[in-house]
Amino acid sequence: MFRIYSNFFLNERGQYKRLDFYNKAGVAIENSWKIANYSWQYQDDGSVIESRFSLKGELQTHRPGFEFKRIRLVFDSRGHLSLMQNLNESHKLLESKSGAAQYRYFYQASGTFHRWEIYDANGKPALGPTGTAGEQYANDFMNQRKIAFFDTQGKPSLHASGAAYWILQYDHFGNVSELSLYDVNEKLTVGVQGFARLRYYWGGTGLNLLRKDYLDTRGRLKNTRDGLARIEYPRDQKGEVLSELKYDETGKLLVDGEG
């Protein structure tokens, strides 16, 4: 694994206008998202237009698996992102392949993120790349406990994961201890990756992940689509990961190339 360095450039107002990535030798490189640099343009209405480019100068998506490239970021009075829009070269709304052109974000009075919705260029509900029109979060005072996915009519809908709801549990350190998948009828279901529950096991201090188990609806180890059912992370005394040990549902250790 190589280390990525970054260098920010400021405009005349002291605002960030560009970020470049480079290696130890000072050579320009791309990060894991195939992005070599970010650029920001500040608009008179307070919004910011962000673009990301590869080393070849190709415009990149804002996140892997998503579709927006040149985006306008609009913020509310508290500084929270409230709207993200996909733009063409003339800075006009542009619908992506899925039909989405805008993401609207909503927050609770406490500032906790609560919900996001997707719209087309005309402001009508639209489906995004995950096959849903948005997500709603149920939170406690610290964590997200439930994520509900919905369609353009606001009804429960299957997300790209194969679930309409994700339920999360946490340990006393605040680490995720279990992710469970449910269908539109709120029944435990096996998602597209081949498991119904993903259980996490953490070390005594809560800092180090030791194991992940993929389970079926009965709580038994189940092979995922990748052919593995358990991953263990042996660590040294400093907590550094020594290796990843992968097992199938029978307990067989998988060699490299399997799973």
Q: What is the pLDDT of residue 182?
A: 98
How many angstroms separate the CA atoms of 159 and 134, rounded? 9
What pLDDT is recorded for position 234?
Answer: 97
Q: What is the pLDDT of residues 176-196, one digit of tens each?
A: 999 999 999 999 999 999 999
Q: Who contacts 103 (Cβ-Cβ below 8 Å, separation ≥6)?
A: 68, 83, 84, 85, 116, 117, 118, 119, 128
- Judge contact between 106 and 116, C-beta under 8 A: yes
Question: Is the pLDDT score of 50 beyond 80?
Answer: yes
Write out pLDDT tens, residues 90-135. Answer: 999 999 999 999 999 999 888 889 999 999 999 999 999 999 999 9
Q: Which residues have a Cβ under 8 Å from the Cβ of 252 and sit 6 or more positions away?
A: none
* Dist CA 250 CA 229 (whole Å): 9
DSSP collapsed to 3 states, 212-240: EEEECCCCCECCCCCCCCEEECCECCCCC
As a whole number, the mean pLDDT across the chain is 95
User: What pLDDT is attached to residue 110?
Assistant: 86
What integer is the mean pLDDT of 156-173? 96
Tens digit of pLDDT for each residue in 196-248? 999 999 999 999 999 999 999 999 999 999 999 999 999 999 999 999 999 99
Q: 65-160: what fold?
A: Lipocalin (2.40.128)
Domain ranges of the chain: 1-60, 65-160, 171-259
Q: What is the pLDDT of residue 248?
A: 97
For residues 187 and 178, give the distance between their C-alpha atoms in angstroms, rounded to a whole number: 16
pLDDT of residue 139: 86
Question: What Å distances lie between residue 12 and 39, 42, 46, 48, 173, CA to CA?
Answer: 15, 12, 16, 16, 44
In the predicted structure, residue 20 carries a pLDDT above the cut 70: yes
CA atoms of 84 and 40, how far apart (whole Å)? 14
Distance between CA atoms of 33 and 156, rounded to whole angstroms?
31
Per the CB < 8 A criterion, the answer to whether 34 and 51 are in contact is no
